Amino acid sequence: MLWLIFCNFVHDLHIHITHKNQSNMIKFMNDHVGKVFCVAISVGLVGCIDENYDLSDIDTTVQIDVKDLVIPLNMSEMRLNSIIDLDDDGVLKEINGEYVIIQEGDFHSDEIKINSIEIDSPDGNLQSKSVTLAAGQAVKNPRYAHDFSYHTEGVDDYVDQIESAEVVWRIGMPLQTSSTDVVFRNPVYKIPEGLKGYPSVGVYDETTSTVTVTGDFHILDFSFNVTEIDCTANPDFKFDKEDHSIEFPGYVALVGGEIVNIGTETITGATVSVDFQFDVMTVKTITGYVHYQTDNLTSERIVLEDIPDYLSQPGTSLIMDNPQIYITASNPLAGYGVTASTGIVISQYRADDNGDLDSISGIEMPEPLRIGAVEGAQSFCLSPDDPGSQGYDKFPDAVWHSYPGLGRIVYGDGLPQELGIYFQNPGMDHCHVTKFEVGKNLGELKGTYTLYAPLAMEAGSQVRYSGRETGWGLENDLTVTTLQLTASVSSTLPVNVYVEAWPLDMNGERISNVEIKGADVAAGTSTDLNITITGEIAGLDGIEYVAKVISGDNTAGITLKPSQGLDFSGIRIKVSGHYRTEM
């Protein structure tokens, strides 16, 4: 009877324990509870031996209530730099204490070249005059003339206006008499107006467009080598931009001098001939207006690989806090005073259901980027706002250009796989040039681009971080009904954080059928954290704590920094429940 009373007493006993070390608690339960009942049984058997007494109906289950069992948690801080692991080869870098996407590439055009201009030669003409001269007689100012016309429709579309042209062009007007006693004395040749050049013999007067050759000539191999045409000084020279044609009519002539019989006898029927010859006209340079359009200014895509998983998870919508695109370009035509320009469009590429990359509508720079007529490399910064001293220090002399909306080049569910920089209508502006070479490769429009983009979160976007504390080893005999995590927390994050915790079983799986009450931590504040988990939790081996960094309307667009995070102090985890075991 004494044994029965003792068993019933222990069965109804509720032991309330507060312990600071769960391993000691479990050891206490495992080591001592069984011993207590063994002693009780021994006492009972010694004091109450009755072979007719049936013990099979006795309830041998014992339950011990556990209240506020304290479990240590090794967590003092949660920093973004512990959440976001940076890869040395990745595009995400830490620059000046901020998370920044940096990616570089280059671009180049085809060789810039305005096609050569060659104009076929018109037909020439051999003109002869027959003279009869007494000894010493002369014919003054005989005239030999021939009309010509140069014509081509092969002028490059990039030539807008021609004021003058350097050329390789020879006009021949050799003369000859049929008798050695008949000479041409002091011939004067007329050439078209506006020509610069030099004669094979004689003196050229550019103001009158004449060449005078002094002397008596039975044979004179005369030619004039044209080096430049002043098209504004010759009203006959016409360039038609619309049909890309040049029309240059004119005439050349032998207009002065005299034919003289230097013999002692009369000469009858002597022939004096002038052979008008015209070579192909080759244009070497032009002075006037040109432009140039290249359809092949190519650039490499920006591949956003090796972005940390926490920034590419669903629900993470990042924007770029005043992203900057630095373009360094060299203008190969700067020596001619030519400026260049190009439109710019940024597009993103995302994988579809088949894994293929689809382009999403890009954002266009409102005004073309203009590259000045400056020798050497020029740097430009394209961004929504002037970064001033906060820009990328690699380009201290970059000239800022406004690019509103550039911060939206990354949008959607997580980061895109690639970004594309596209140049629209790149080329050389309509500019006045002097002695611009045609028919020659003049170089490429080329340079580099650098995307420098501090990361920020869009309103409603979140970054989810989780960590685990395991190894508690609370056996199935201990059922936890309440788990409470308390701490003091200070936030240096520019966005709000929601913190919650999940119980984990011996396999590291979340234990379901529990109710979790998390806690909010406002951006940049200090507060007391209280997280509660209630339910029937058996086999508790640890917790998974989850922090959701959530951007609100008033915190969107603030740059993320590695130093930002949560500081914890006074962390306590207390569990309450009951321990049940069989005798």
As a whole number of angstroms, the distance between CA 112 and CA 100 comes to 36
The answer to whether 129 touches 143, Cβ cutoff 8 Å, is no
Angstrom distance (rounded) from CA 318 to CA 284: 55
Q: What are phi and psi of 9, to 5 degrees?
A: -65, -45
Q: Would you list the DSSP string of 390-459?
A: GS-TT-TTPEEEE-TTGGGSS-SSS--SEEEEEEEEEEEEEEEEEEEE-SS-----EEEEEEEEEEEE-T
Q: Which residues pair with 432 in a beta bridge?
A: 289
Cα angle 233, 239, 245 (rounded to 5 degrees) comes to 145
d(CA 204, CA 258): 19
Q: Look at 107-116, 379-388, 449-458 and tell me which has the smallest mean pLDDT.
A: 449-458
**Whole-number mean pLDDT of the chain?**
81
Q: Which tops the pLDDT comparison, 322 or 395?
A: 395
Instruction: Give the pLDDT score at 512.
Output: 86
pLDDT at 77: 61
SS3 (DSSP) at 134:
coil
Tokens found for residue 204: 């050229």
Residues 415 and 60: their CA atoms lie apart, in Å, by 61
pLDDT at 13 over 60: no
Specify the amino acid at residue 333: L
Q: Are 291 and 432 in contact (CB under 8 A)?
A: no
Report pLDDT for 466: 72
Tokens of 567: 């500081």
Under the banding of pLDDT at 50, 70 and 90, the label for residue 250 is very high
- Enumerate residues 6+ apart whose C-beta is below 8 A from 353: none
How much is the average pLDDT of 173-196?
A: 97
The predicted pLDDT at position 156 comes to 93
Per-residue DSSP letter, 557: T
533-543: average pLDDT:
88
pLDDT in tens, 308-322: 555 655 555 566 678
pLDDT of residue 61: 58
pLDDT band for position 41 (cuts 50, 70, 90)? very low
Q: Give the model confidence (pLDDT) of 268-277 as tens digits.
A: 999 999 999 9
- Reference 219, options 176, 249, 158, 248; nearest CA is 176
Residues 6+ apart with CB under 8 A from 395: 326, 328, 379, 381, 450
d(CA 561, CA 549): 13
User: Given this model, what pLDDT does residue 475 score?
Assistant: 67
**Which neighbouring-strand residues pair with 340?**
371, 428
- So what's the pLDDT on residue 6? 39
Average pLDDT for 176-195: 96
- The Cα–Cα gap between 279 and 122 comes to 8
Q: Global pTM?
A: 0.66
What is the pLDDT, as a whole number, of residue 446?
A: 87
Cα 237 to Cα 234: distance, rounded to the nearest angstrom: 6
pLDDT at residue 219, as a whole number: 97
Question: 320: closest CA among 515, 140, 503, 461?
Answer: 461
Task: Give the integer Cα–Cα distance in Å for 423 and 164.
Answer: 33
Instruction: Give the model's confidence band at 414: pLDDT under 50 very low, under 70 low, under 90 confident, else very high.
Output: low
* Residue matched to tokens 């009858």: 268
Percent of the chain scoring above 70 in pLDDT: 76
Q: Residue 5: pLDDT band by 50, 70, 90 thresholds?
A: very low
Query: Do residues 449 and 105 make contact, with C-beta atoms less than 8 angstroms apart?
Result: yes
Residue 83 has pLDDT above 90, yes or no: no
Q: How far is 317 from 463, CA to CA, in rounded Å?
A: 9
Phi/psi of residue 383, each to 5°?
Answer: -165, 160
Question: Rounded CA gap, 256 and 499, in Å?
Answer: 106
174: helix, coil or strand? coil
Query: What is the CA 413 to chain-centroid distance, rounded?
Result: 21
Cβ 447 vs Cβ 340: under 8 Å: no
Position 7 pLDDT exceeds 50: no
